[in-house]
Amino acid sequence: MDFPPIHDKLWHIKNCPLFHALSPEEYEAIRSTVQMYEVAKNKILPPPPEGEPSLFVVKRGYVQLTYSDEDGREAVVILLGPGDVFGSLDPNDLTFGERCRTVSEACVCRISRQKFEHMLQKYPNLAFRLTKFSLLRINRLQVRLAEMMMRQADERLALALLDLDEQVGREEPDGRRKLTLALTHADLAKLIGTSREMVTILFSKFRKKGLIDTEKGWIYLRDTGGLRKMTVHG
């Protein structure tokens, strides 16, 4: 899909799943409420002004939510793409919460808590859609936590590659599936909770088994069925 310039705010609002329930008049009414900005690849999203609790929607590109420990090690909590919602509306949450880093160039929509609460009162359908988005995210986080606790590193990598294929996979003329989001071994390590060195070892094994190829920084899935078999127990 070709995206118009960021200043065409109404187009972005209309194509945001969170706002699909609005009428044309309501789209116009919230135009001034939504702030949109573009962020370059591999950049931390700037926090809201003065730590103001806000809701964020990914309009274009991909953002990873990460947590880091006292030693500076990072773990990716979840990878979010177009239409995904994150952030906080808690008035007591004066920090950004998660660290949000772009994995690609991204367009992000921000709505302050005060403005969004006003929108919820005016457009009740938004409350239902926000609840739906929140429950979907909680489910995804629960599944990721279970995978991290119960699966071996090779299984987690296979699952991550299959998930990425659903999000950013593209069929190539030779039958392979290209992951159109460029990820390094370090990126994948943070995503599956292991070391970069382990991902490098697993990639070598996956290539020897004919499951994947890597060319010029891109990942190609040669055998999605084989990857899926790795994730099935019993």
Same domain, residue pair 88 and 191:
no
Query: Does residue 52 form part of some domain?
Result: yes
For the segment 112-118, the average pLDDT, to the nearest whole number, is: 81
Distances (CA, A) of 23 to 11, 28, 191: 13, 9, 38
pLDDT at 88: 72
Question: Is the pLDDT reported for residue 136 higher than 50?
Answer: yes
User: Looking at per-residue confidence, does 2 or 228 come out higher?
Assistant: 228
For the segment 79-83, the average pLDDT, to the nearest whole number, is: 86
Query: Does residue 1 form part of some domain?
Result: no
For the segment 70-92, the average pLDDT, to the nearest whole number, is: 76
User: Residue 50 contacts by C-beta under 8 Å, 6 or more apart in sequence?
Assistant: none
pLDDT at 197: 96
Same domain, residue pair 134 and 184:
no
Contact indicator for 112, 48 with CB cutoff of 8 Å: yes
User: Looking at per-residue confidence, does 208 or 141 come out higher?
Assistant: 208
CB-count exposure of residue 234 (10 Å: 0-12, 13-18, 19+)? exposed
User: Looking at per-residue confidence, does 196 or 123 come out higher?
Assistant: 196
Question: Is the pLDDT reported for residue 162 higher than 90?
Answer: yes
CB atoms within 10 A of CB 113: 18
Distances (CA, A) of 186 to 76, 199, 200: 11, 8, 9
Q: 40-61, pLDDT tens digit by residue?
A: 998 988 777 766 778 888 888 9
Confidence category of residue 131, pLDDT binned at 50, 70, 90: confident
pLDDT at 93: 53
Q: How far apart are CA 166 and CA 217, in angstroms?
A: 19
Q: Which two tokens stand for residue 76?
A: 């990716």
Same domain, residue pair 188 and 218:
yes
Q: Name the residue range of residue 200's domain.
A: 151-230
User: Looking at per-residue confidence, does 21 or 93 come out higher?
Assistant: 21
Same domain, residue pair 121 and 189:
no
Confidence category of residue 65, pLDDT binned at 50, 70, 90: confident
DSSP-derived secondary structure letter, 2: P
Confidence category of residue 142, pLDDT binned at 50, 70, 90: confident
229-234's contacts with Cβ under 8 Å and 24+ in sequence apart are: 230/154, 230/155, 230/158, 231/151, 231/155, 231/158, 231/159, 231/162
Query: Does residue 172 form part of some domain?
Result: yes
User: Looking at per-residue confidence, does 79 or 51 come out higher?
Assistant: 79
Same domain, residue pair 23 and 137:
yes
Question: Is the pLDDT reported for residue 221 higher than 90?
Answer: yes
- CATH number of the domain that residue 136 is part of: 2.60.120.10
Secondary structure of residue 233 in the 3-state scheme: coil
Q: Where are the alpha helices (DSSP H) in the chain?
A: 9-14, 24-30, 113-122, 125-150, 153-168, 185-192, 196-208, 224-230
Same domain, residue pair 140 and 197:
no
Share of the chain above pLDDT 70, in %: 84
Same domain, residue pair 121 and 180:
no
Same domain, residue pair 92 and 78:
yes
Same domain, residue pair 54 and 131:
yes
Same domain, residue pair 108 and 174:
no
